[in-house]
Chains A and B, each alone.
Chain A
């Protein structure tokens, strides 16, 4: 214990001694002030360096963004190279039909879009399609040019176009990418009465009349149907392939989209002669069409009515002077990915004479699944109930589609 006390005393003495020595070495107030000033200058230098670095990073970011804009075309309208102003897109759909009439898998449509912006006011748009996966002599499919037109902005609300374009009638004819509609196959009313997909060569005007209201007017090639196919309008599409331009047609559509999720539209078309003056017993024709396309919250409703009125004793003799149809399609989106629908279709290409028993009725119900907004898987059941000798066509359909 004695030894410990002596040791502690000795340590304390040494500590005090070292502190006194350190105190003797500490700078005075003047020297401290110099040190603080020196440190302040260093802090300011560091701040300036940081600011300069920040400016350099900003400048680098701007340079990188400018390079990206120039090379990737982030603002195509301002670019000059043609590739910056050229757009590519497309859609496609494959179907499996298990019906009384067929049991088959078909890559029904493979479509590529090409567009080009010549200037802020002048552009080109095209759609090239391969149907049924192959084409050529004796093959099932064909390669078709479905759109290829030049559009020019006359004013900020009015446009003119010329070339090959889709007839502005109905819901599916202008917009038929598979992810945008229910059902594996396009509805039979628009296919057989309008008849979708219907493209023509000609020119026209379109634009806004007032907020929510728009119009589309065009003068274009007419139909060329005949007595041999009972004056069916679908058989009369000329597809702008060396089309007979003896008798032209004109189409007017008025559309209202003044409320989100609601489209109401009506179209009228006048044909000078649906046989291109080749049939003395046929003549002019009118097409009238009206539809509503509503999608509010989770509920959807599409309904359409279309009617042809063909002049002449020829169409009258086979009841084709009146060809009409309608459908109604309620739908419900369970989630953004899943939707269900039911559709009742009724159409008749010889509705002018009930003796032909030519009316067809079809009920579809099914589901769409969108794993991505641009990709869709579809399934539906079909029940077709036909008059007369027409066979019913029941079964189910599966499909996959995409757009980009």
Chain B
């Protein structure tokens, strides 16, 4: 029985399937897919003043960059953001449409655990999520056993993208005639 088991495991060990670690999609490809091969010029939002404090509150630490690039057309904005799960940064692509999360996708996963967050059965939970009055997601996101820190990172980035999108739209209102 043990021999059969070992053979089975050796067969399993050559399975490569969808990669668990590595690059699932290049950010440029994600943007091209999002904007139907007509990616707009990037814009920049600076993390200064009150915005910097809010981002720190959302993440539990300051963001590793002083400003964040985004791509926007009409009501849709796309964001390429990073957050560390346990040890390594996870690169995630997010699309916000009229204040709701349209898409969240793991682009690069570098952690040694928690790669299950890349599967659609997990990311589908975020579809149409928005921020409530307290800045939290308006729904419960069920976790994945053994991937707690990766799940937490994904939730933080969803909140961050929704918050930044709201800030960008707020700028539109303040600059309109």
Contacts and interface: CB of A to CB of B under 8 A. Distances in A.
Contacts of B67: 61
B87 A87 contact: yes
Interface of B: 2, 5, 9, 12-22, 64-67, 86-89, 110, 112, 115-116, 119, 121-122, 125, 140-148, 152
B5 A77 contact: no
Contact of A260 (B65, B112, B115, B141): B141
Contacts of A120: 110
Interface of A: 61, 64-65, 68-69, 72, 74-77, 87, 89, 115, 117, 120, 123, 151, 153-159, 174-175, 180, 205, 207-212, 215, 217, 250, 252, 257-263, 270, 293, 295-298, 373
A211 B18 contact: yes
Given A157-B16, A297-B140, A260 B122 contact: yes
Contact of B145 (A72, A217, A293, A373): A293
Contacts of B115: 208
B110 A261 contact: no
B143 A215 contact: no
B143 A208 contact: no
B2 A156 contact: no
Contacts of B119: 211-212, 258
B2 A250 contact: yes
Contacts of B9: 205, 215, 217, 252
Given A64-B66, A76-B87, A156 B116 contact: no
13 contacts: A68-B64, A69-B64, A75-B89, A77-B88, A117-B88, A123-B112, A153-B112, A154-B13, A156-B19, A158-B15, A175-B145, A261-B143, A295-B142
Contacts of A212: 116, 119, 121
B146 A175 contact: yes
Given A215-B12, A263-B145, A65 B64 contact: yes
Contact of A297 (B20, B21, B89, B142): B142
Contact of B20 (A157, A180, A252): A157
